[in-house]
Every structure is written in structure tokens, then in C-alpha cells.
Amino acid sequence: MNRIKELREDRDLRQKDVAKILNISQQQYARYELEENEMAYGQLIKLAEYYNTSIDYILYVTDERKPYPKSIIDRK
């Protein structure tokens, strides 16, 4: 199971609920879950913020579900 589907199901959401958050169609979101299309960076940010996790978690870079501390993000 991919991470975006796992995160969605953990919150008992339907695909159309998440699609509405991303301002896309349910069919487009379904293609993301099926890994037929890649999600745009801005959409990844929205999902990470909504699910309170990191983009790295969504993309399997890490198995740590918690988001990064703000102090790390704020350093530029």
C-alpha cells in the first residue's frame, strides 16, 4: 500500500475528500494512489501539512511519521 492511501485510510477519508483538499478531481487523485501519475510538489506540501507529516515520509525517504521540527525548517 502506498503512503498517501495509508494516510487517507488512517483518517477514514474517501478519495474525493482528499481530492477536494488538493482542488483536483477524484479520478486524478486515484491516479496518484495507483502511482500512474506523480504528484506535484505543491500538492505534496499540502498533504504533508494536512496529515501533519513530512514529504519525506510520504515519499518513503524516511519511516519517521512525525514532521520535522520547525527550527530545522526555518533555517535557510
Q: Where are the domains of the chain?
A: 3-74
34: how many CB neighbours lie within 10 A of its CB? 10
Return the CATH architecture of domain 3-74.
Orthogonal Bundle (1.10)
Please tell me the distance from the alpha carbon of residue 17 to that of residue 14, in angstroms, as a whole number.
Answer: 5
Predicted confidence (pLDDT) at residue 4 exceeds the cutoff of 60? yes
* Backbone phi and psi for residue 29, each to the nearest 5 degrees, phi listed first: -60, -40
Per residue in 36-74, pLDDT (tens digit) is: 999 999 999 999 999 999 999 999 999 988 887 776 555
CA atoms within a 13 Å half-sphere pointing along the CA-CB vector of 12: 0
pLDDT of residue 67: 84
